[in-house]
Every structure is written in C-alpha cells, then in structure tokens.
Chains A and B, each alone.
Chain A
Amino acid sequence: MFSFIARRAGAAIGTLFLSSVLVFLAVQALPGDVATQVLGKDATPDAVSALREKLKLDQPAWERYVDWIGGALHGDFGLSLVSGKAVGGEVGMYLGNSALIALVTVLFAVTGSIVLGILAGLYRDRWPDHLISTVSLIGMSVPEFVVATVLVLCFSVALPWFPAVVLYGPEASVGQLMPAVWLPALALAVVMAAYIVRMARTSVIDVMAGEFVTTARLKGLSTWRVVTRHALPSALLPTLHVIALNVAWLAGGVAVVENVFNYPGIGKLMLASVQNRDLPVIQAIALISAVVYVVCNLAADLGAMALNPKLRTRGRTR
C-alpha cells in the first residue's frame, strides 16, 4: 500500500520536473530577443544590454533554469516585466480569485453530475435517463463561451439577477466578487458535468448488471443500500479519472469564461501577459497549470485506492 502511494507520488514529482523543463524551454524558444521585445525596436543598444544583464540573459540557459526553479520552489517567480512587481504575489492574487470560481464549479459539477449520472443509470431507458442524457449531450456539444453568453442574456439582461461583468480589479475582496461568481461557475459546470454524467451513467449501468449487485439484491437489502454500499464504490472507479481530467481542464476552461465576464482571475491574467510578452508571468502560470493537472491525477489515483481494495492489499498473502 505504501509502496503504491510512494510510486504514485514519485511519478507525480517526476512529471512536474519534466513539465517545468518543458515550460522553461518553450519560453526560451520564443522568437526574438526578450530585451528587444520589452523595450521596443527603437531602444538604444545600451539600454538593451543593461536589461539583458538585469534579466541574466547573458548566462547559460541551464543556470537560469536552476535559478528560476529554485526560486519557484520558494514561491519566487521573479519580477513581472510589465509592472515590475513580484510575479508570485500577482499570480497568487489572480489565482485566488479563480480558485473561488473553480471551487464553486467543482462542488456543483462533481456532486451534481454524479447524482444525475447515477439516476440516469438506475432509471435506464426510462424518462429520467432520456432527459438527463439529452441535456448532458447538449451541454457537451455547446462551447463554454456560448453557454456563458446565453447565461448572461438570461440572468443578467433579461432577468437582472447577477452582474454581467465584474467591475472590480484583482484586489477585490471575496464579498465583492461573490455575486459575480455564480454565472461563470454555472457555465463551466454545464460543460464539465456533461462528461462526468455520461461516464457515471455508463459505469452505473455496468455495475448494476453485475452479479454481486444481484446477489446483494437477493439478500433482501433495500435499493438504497444496494446502490450506496455495493454498486457505488465500483461504479465510481472509472468515473474518478474523468472527474480528475475535467477538474484539471478547468485551469484552461476558466480562461475563456473569465474573459467573457471580465472576471479578474488567472485566465484573464494569462491572456494579458501573453499579449504583453510578460514571460515570467507566463512561465509561472504554465507551471501552476501543470501542478493542477498532476495534483488532480494524483488525487484520482489515491481515490481509486480508497475504492479498490485490490490496490490496497497488494502484497498481502492469501
């Protein structure tokens, strides 16, 4: 059991290391000289070389990588080329705002879609199943910015319940942002839930047709007990990794939706820094996305271990 956890954690750290190298190399490979990009074409050669020295561009790449990654481990991602402030603090602020949306989305999408998926599976080929399957198919096929726009039309323009755009900057407090969180979260949840619902439905149908579920029924147990104790652990197993991938997808999905709502989150910061060629910020965001992916998958693996005793008891003898 512990060797399983250790192996998974080791693999996660390895993946993170490789992705940090990739992120760093990708940024290095961007065309043009960073100093010229920042200062513009009309900059004097003196100013350019001064900036190069300041950015340590004259040092070999691997030294800069070690510097960067060493700092990143302590939360120091360097200074923004645009604002001159510490990247760590700035990214952290936007990240916090996005986390608010993500948290609400995950809570709604994951619990909601698992419940809907189970319902659809249990009522296979009857009206609850048809309804849930059709709606989730629509949610899957419509892109998130369309969903977001439709939601704005319905719930901010037609019915003025929620703000259509956010008027606060990144420093806004949670209380100020709270009213603006719901629509973006709903847009993301609709898209995300569709996949989880379909996966949960399929695996519930599979498991409910299984012999051990029949045995449990024939023991005279109530349907509730059969579903929660016997069917669910096995049915959730294949769903776990779909959930993990979808939660990780949020890191990118959030960018589009945040721009629709002008929400001061990480997605908006990413778009702005790409436009401004603010390389340290881009690097930091890319690395954070990688961490989100790896952590989600690690969580799914550990969740699978909790649900599947075969993974836990490996190595024990008969």
Chain B
Amino acid sequence: MTAIVSVTELSVAYRSGGSGGRDVPVVREVSLDVLPGQTHALVGESGSGKSTVAATLLGHLRHGSRVTGGSVRVGGADVFALPARELRRLRGGTVAMVAQNAGHALTPSMRIGRQIAEAGGDVPVVDLLEQVRLPRPAELARRYPHELSGGQQQRVAIAMAIAARPKVLVLDEPTTGLDVITQRGVLDLIGALRDELGLAAVLVSHDLGVVAHMADEVTVLRSGRVVEAAATGRLFAAPQDPYTRRLLASVPRLDDEGLALVGAAGEREVRPRAVVSGDAPVAVSARDVTIDYGSARAVDGVSFDVRRGEVLALVGESGSGKSTLAWALAGLRTPSGGTMTHAGGDRPSGDTKSGDLRSGDRESGDLARPAGKRPLSLRRRVQLVFQNADTSLNPRRSVGDAVRRPLRFFGTVGSRAEAVDRARQLISDVRLEPALAERLPAQLSGGQRQRIGIARALAGEPDVLIADEITTALDVSVQADVLRLLDDLRRERELACLFISHDLAVVRGLADRVVVLRHGVVVEEGPTDAVFSAPGHPYTRQLMAAVLEPLPGVGPVVDGGENTPPTNRRKPYTQGAP
C-alpha cells in the first residue's frame, strides 16, 4: 500500500527579527509516512516542532516561516509546489485539520451551522452534527460558538473537518484543555469516525496517554528533530532513546504508590509518600461551605480539613466547583454560607523555635472574609499559586521583582538589600538559578515561570498553599519536576497544601487525601490509597476510567467508542452525565 502522506527530510526555519534577522530552524530533516487508514502520532514537548510539521500537511506555515528543504506529499501531490487554487482544493477536500483550541478556532460572529456548511461536502449539516454525537443538532446549528461548552465546540470543529469527507485528518492537540472525561469522549468519537470513514490521521500530542490510546505509529520529536520512530506497541514497550524513556517515565500512573522521580536515562523510582504524623495540627478547616454565582450554586455544603504537612487533592471535571472553592479560600470570592477558618498557631504547642511571633499569629483567622478584609498576618499565611504563570506575572517586571514585592509588602524583610538576598534565596529554594531573577517572565520557560509563581507564594512564608491546576499547562517532564518540587516543599516547610486538579493520575503520587467534587458536591473523600484501590462512587470510577495511561502493549481503540475501552483494567467504565 502506498503512503497517503509522505514527508521527506522536511526542514522549516523561522526568520527572527525582521528582514535582517537570522534563520532559526524549527524543523530539521523530519521524515514520516502515513498509510491510508493509519494513525500516526507526532509526540514532543513545546518547541519540538510537532505542530509545525502537522500544519505543513495543509501547506500552512506560520507568518515568517519557510520551508528550507525537503518535501511534503499528500495524496500524491507536492503540497508546497501546488498553485494557490489547487492548494485550496487540497485543503477543502483531501486533508482537513482539527485545531487545538476549538474555542478560538471557531469564528465568533458566525453561526456554527454556517461554518460547517462552508467547509464544503455534500453531507447536510444536521447529519454531521449527529455524526459527532451532538444532541438536538437542528437547534445547535443555529447557535454561536460561545453558546457551547468546550467539549461541544471541539465536536463542532471535528464535524467541520469531516464535512468534505477528507482522506487525511490532522489533529493538533485535539483534547488539550478539556478535562479527562470530556477528553475521553472526544477521543472515542475521533477513533470511531476514523474507522467509520477509513481516515488516515496525523495526531499531534504532548500527552503520551492519548497517543498510546489512539496511534498505530509514533514519531517522537525534540527540538525539531526525530528522536525515535516506531510502531506504538514497540515504542511503549521498549523505548530506545533516553529522551523517549524519560518522557514515558514522567507520566504519572494510577498505580504509583508515591511520587515518581525520573532519572536522566529515564529510570523511574517511586518515592514513598511523606508521612503526616497523626498529631499534626489542622491548618485549614472548611465546614458546609456554599458559594453562589448569582442564582447558580457552584459549591454546595463542602467540608474538609487540611493538616500541616498534608496535601489534600480536590478533584473533579470543569464546572465541579473546585477552582471556585480554591479562590474562596484565597479570599477572592466570598462564600454565601458555611465557615472557613485558618487554625492559627505557628507550630505544635511546646515548640519554642517559632521565632518571630507577630500579633495575631496565634489566633485563628476567618477565611470567609475577602482577602482585602483579612488582617495582614492571615493574608500572608494563605497563598495561592495560579494555573497560568505566564498571565499571572507582570510581563514588564523582572521575576526577582515579582518575588520581592510580597516580601516587602508582608514586612517579612526589613531592608531593600535583605529583600534582594531573600528573593534570591527563594528562587534557589524552588530549584532555579538565582541569576534568573533579573529576567522578564517572557524570557523564562513555562516550567520556570511556574516555579517563580511558587516562589512568590512562598515569599509570605505561608503555612497554607493553594495550588490551582498548576501543572495543567506544563509539559509532562516539567510537570514531574514541579510536582516533585511541591512534594519537597511541603516536607521541608510543613505546608498544608490544597492541590486542585482534574487529573486523578497527577494527584495519585502527591496527595495524602482526595476529595472528589461533582457539581459542587463532595461525592467521595478519603485517603488516596483507599480511594484509588476501591473507589466508592460511580463518578470516581468514571474519572479513573477516563485517565489514559501510556501502557506498553495497548493498541488503539477498536470499538465504537461508547463501550468499555480496552485500556480500562479496573472497575467497569460507568456511563454518567453527558
């Protein structure tokens, strides 16, 4: 069988800084072939050039980029040699793309029905919407993109891509940004459509679980080069390159007993979970907390305690109220009912080392009050780390400045010179070079920025740290490092940590206890080991089943998608809410 897509020694360069700039190579001599009906995955971390390669299949390059060598052939045609009219025909017919973020990829001023109809083909819009399993298609077609949920938007983007019945589907991170359950649904849909329509697919992903689940062949990219290419089963069972091994080892697993530490060659060692002593004092306690957004109830009667040195995970899909709860604890949103208290008290009683006792430090604090009305000492001790470090740091201030500000603000240090020293100390505490303090946020990588976010939160010397999806936007190896840092910090500083995530596997190695939220209500709660070995609530089981692990020997889905997926080795996959 001849390949339908064939990329040969493709090189792409980006010209930096206007006409006088230098060529920066982003893709170097990449080759790959995709047979009809096959799914080929491009795997790599940010900056690996995987999206650039995928976009060349449609003859698309980013502004300022150009092909410096090699060729791309799709369905026999040399894509970059095609005249404009032919290229448009190729895009409208032979190959179609599903972009990463459907929320941004759909035109906001156009009804979705018209957008789908525009993509060509003879299939009626309503049939297409039905095919991507969207409810009430006729009514949905008249809506605008902003009136749909994230998962629905992604389904619309898929409907648009299959409208003209292409032969090749390019999927650029099709489920990144969706929560695990929605992701599972979209992947099952893609798998089913692919088999139904006999599509070849090129799947771009940084998520090895997704790749193991979907692909026949895998090409691993790093800095624009092919590191390793193999059939999926072989690659996951016996990765050859150390980079691939490291990447695979960094993925958190549902059966890890503690946090996985990954070595340079990809060896994996599971560190036993930190032991929280039975008499560790409670740092934060929430009782029957209720939070409303106007008439909608986001959090309904939630209670929990977090002790010093303990990590409590709040898990749930988007809209479950977990972030709302975190924001309320941080004082950014006022609860409409219940109590949230900070226990006060620096160390267990009898400990005299707890040096500087400012007034109010030992009293318990009311966390139901907004941050602006909390006394300084209480504000200092409950700190939030944001999901997106890139948008939560001031782009025009050096990161050292970002760490120094809270130092001066909370009066933790006296003089300016002391603040500079302390900031450098904090930056090295989060395992970064202190010299990075002079840089601007844009000059750091995503993982480095997130560490700065943590350093900034630590500047107030908090005893409660709220981490709101802090690893969601990070690459898998960077995620592993940040998780390890958080684990180290809570051991060193006896931090009470509230860790919020939609991904159960991420929580597994770090958290001591897990609270599962759904529609603002706690459906399950308990020690991590107990919850994972015997999940009591169907929703927890559903969450666990939705986790995709990069398991050796797991092939692509072969069933219709709505049935029990073969990767599910544990409890049966329970169909819950849509």
Contacts and interface: CB of A to CB of B under 8 A. Distances in A.
A309 interface: yes
Nearest to B100: A211
Contact of B99 (A215, A221, A229): A215
Interface string B142-184: 0010111100000001001000100000000000000000000
B88 A229 contact: no
Contact of B90 (A211, A217, A220): A220
A209 B104 CA distance: 11
Contact of B107 (A218, A220, A230): A230
In order of increasing CB-CB distance, the 9 nearest A-B pairs are A220-B92, A220-B91, A233-B109, A211-B104, A309-B144, A215-B105, A220-B88, A212-B107, A230-B107
A234 interface: yes
Contact of A212 (B63, B88, B104, B119): B104
A214 B144 contact: no
Interface in A179-231: 209-222, 225, 229-230
B514 interface: no
Nearest to A310: B146
B88 A214 contact: no
B89 interface: yes
Contacts of A308: 108-109
Interface string A217-255: 111111001000110011000000000000000000000
Given A214-B99, A220-B88, A222-B88, A318 B148 contact: yes
18 contacts: A212-B106, A214-B105, A215-B99, A215-B157, A217-B60, A217-B91, A218-B91, A218-B97, A219-B91, A219-B92, A219-B96, A221-B118, A222-B88, A229-B118, A233-B110, A309-B108, A310-B108, A318-B148
Contact of A220 (B89, B106, B147): B89
A43 B118 CA distance: 79
Interface of A: 209-222, 225, 229-230, 233-234, 307-310, 313, 316, 318
Given A209-B63, A229-B107, A310-B146, 16 more contacts: A211-B100, A215-B157, A217-B91, A219-B96, A219-B118, A219-B160, A220-B90, A220-B93, A221-B118, A225-B118, A229-B118, A230-B107, A234-B107, A310-B144, A313-B146, A318-B148
B109 A307 contact: yes
A9 B348 CA distance: 63
A204 to B, nearest CB: 14
A155 to B, nearest CB: 39
A68 B147 CA distance: 49
Contacts of A211: 99-101, 104-105
A25 to B, nearest CB: 39
Contacts of A216: 107, 118
Contact of B106 (A215, A217, A221, A229): A215
A313 B144 CA distance: 9
Contacts of A309: 108-109, 144, 146
B58 interface: yes
Contacts of A229: 107, 110, 118
B242 interface: no
B147 A316 contact: yes
Interface of B: 58, 60, 63, 88-93, 96-97, 99-101, 104-110, 118-120, 144, 146-149, 157, 160, 164
Contacts of B144: 309-310, 313
A225 B115 CA distance: 12
Nearest to A229: B110
A149 B58 CA distance: 54
Most chain B C-beta atoms within 10 Å of own C-beta, residue among A212, A229, A307: A212
B109 A234 contact: yes
Nearest to A225: B118
Given A210-B104, A229-B110, A215 B97 contact: yes
A307 B90 CA distance: 31
A63 to B, nearest CB: 46
A313 B92 CA distance: 31
Given A214-B99, A309-B146, A310-B146, A221 B88 contact: yes
A209 B107 CA distance: 13
Contacts of B58: 218
A222 B85 CA distance: 9
Contacts of B96: 218-219
Contacts of A220: 88-93, 119-120, 164
Given A211-B104, A313-B144, A219 B109 contact: no
A221 B117 CA distance: 12
Nearest to B170: A218
Contacts of A225: 118
B60 A214 contact: yes
A213 B318 CA distance: 27
Nearest to B148: A318
Given A218-B97, A221-B118, A313-B144, A212 B89 contact: no
A230 B110 contact: yes
A209 B100 CA distance: 15
Contacts of B91: 217-220
Contacts of A218: 58, 60, 91, 96-97
A34 to B, nearest CB: 53
A233 B147 CA distance: 18
A308 B144 CA distance: 10
A217 B107 CA distance: 12
Nearest to A125: B18
Contacts of A212: 104-108
